[in-house]
């Protein structure tokens, strides 16, 4: 059996003249969380759709758990869980009915819907129709639905978009629990903080291409700058900013001067964020 949960080679897809996914290749190890980052229209969802067998690649191939997706769609679906970007629950059914429906489609005989709903913090509302749920609750139910078959690979497409911090944190906890269980997580997100916190590695996607793929730490080392930021009190009593870039030859001297000659009010270190790095690599932000 392959060491890699996901192996992508030269994957390509275009909508007419618009190239959505432009010959991308990458690998995801078993039990790894890969953050897939990029602005709207970068090709993230098309990539997920091809990896989950919902769209057939126009070029290249995707191999999940050692099986080529386009040739083993039905088999692969038994081992994956997908949480979609848009809420697509049966709103006139209860949370339990939604989960049981999907469990039955996977052919699961004994399924504890209550326990799963408790895991995502929906205990007490399990018999309410989904149409009465808040957005955060629906999103948690979406995540729960993607876990019904205890998937070996979990695809999460913007699972925390537009959620309040408490709901987002609940979903982060579930993702980490799944990794602990041994599942591989393919996470697309706009949220760089989320990706930084959860991902073992992150891939930056821009205009259909993967422009960087590494651990958050390595990307920060490679592309970001570390600095010491201080606020000092001047002779006139005003506050002024001072910034000393780290990892330079003159850094030590500058730090010494700061502490010797300035009246420091506050001081802290600053690391580059993934967003800074994305902008540096692509020349554009994630919002666009």
- Applying CB under 8 A, the residues found at the interface with other proteins are 52, 54, 74, 77-78, 80, 82, 84, 86, 88-93, 97, 101-102, 104-107, 145, 149
Q: Which residues pair with 154 in a beta bridge?
A: 81, 185
Rounded to the nearest whole angstrom, what is the least distance from the CB of residue 102 to other proteins in the complex?
Answer: 6
Note whether 204 and 211 are within 8 A (CB): yes
Closer to other proteins by CB, 86 or 238: give it: 86
Q: Is 16 helix (H, G, I), strand (E, B) or coil?
A: coil
Q: What's the order of all strands across the beta sheet hosting 263-270? A: 239-245, 227-233, 263-270
Rounded to the nearest whole angstrom, what is the least distance from the CB of residue 80 to other proteins in the complex?
Answer: 8
Closer to other proteins by CB, 145 or 220: give it: 145
Closer to other proteins by CB, 78 or 240: give it: 78
Rounded to the nearest whole angstrom, what is the least distance from the CB of residue 108 to other proteins in the complex?
Answer: 11
Note whether 27 and 82 are within 8 A (CB): no
Read out DSSP for 151-169? Answer: -SEEEEESTTTT--HHHHH
Q: What is the CA radius of gyration of the chain?
A: 23
Rounded to the nearest whole angstrom, what is the least distance from the CB of residue 84 to other proteins in the complex?
Answer: 7
Closer to other proteins by CB, 139 or 282: give it: 139
Q: What are phi and psi of 280, to 5 degrees?
A: -65, -40
Closer to other proteins by CB, 19 or 100: give it: 100
165-181 vs 135-146: helix axis angle to the nearest 10?
Answer: 10
Rounded to the nearest whole angstrom, what is the least distance from the CB of residue 157 to other proteins in the complex?
Answer: 11
- Of 65, 129, 130, 77, nearest to 107 by C-alpha is 77
């Amino acid at each position: 059996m392959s060491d890699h949960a996901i192996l992508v080679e030269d994957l390509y897809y275009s909508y007419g003249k618009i190239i959505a996914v432009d010959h991308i290749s990458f690998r995801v190890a078993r039990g790894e969380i890969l953050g897939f980052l990029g602005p709207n229209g970068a090709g993230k969802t098309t990539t997920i759709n091809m990896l989950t067998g919902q769209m057939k690649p126009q070029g290249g191939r995707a191999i999940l758990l050692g099986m080529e997706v386009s040739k083993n769609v039905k088999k692969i679906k038994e081992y994956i869980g997908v949480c979609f970007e848009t809420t697509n629950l049966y709103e006139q059914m209860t949370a339990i009915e939604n989960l049981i429906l999907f469990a039955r489609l996977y052919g699961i005989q004994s399924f504890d819907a209550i326990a799963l709903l408790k895991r995502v913090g929906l205990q007490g509302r399990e018999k309410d129709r989904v149409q009465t749920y808040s957005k955060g609750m629906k999103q948690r139910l979406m995540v729960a639905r993607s876990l019904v078959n205890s998937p070996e690979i979990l695809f999460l497409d913007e699972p925390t978009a537009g959620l309040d911090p408490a709901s987002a944190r609940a979903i982060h906890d579930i993702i980490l629990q799944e990794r602990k269980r041994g599942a591989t997580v393919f996470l697309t997100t706009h949220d760089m903080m989320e990706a930084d916190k959860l991902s073992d590695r992150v891939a930056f996607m821009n205009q259909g291409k993967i422009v960087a793929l590494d651990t958050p730490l390595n990307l920060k080392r490679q592309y970001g700058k570390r600095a010491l930021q201080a606020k000092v009190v001047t002779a006139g009593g005003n506050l002024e900013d001072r910034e000393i870039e780290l990892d330079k030859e003159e850094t030590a001297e500058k730090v010494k001067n700061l502490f010797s000659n300035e009246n420091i009010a506050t001081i802290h270190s600053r690391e580059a964020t993934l967003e800074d790095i994305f902008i540096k690599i692509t020349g554009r932000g994630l919002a666009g």
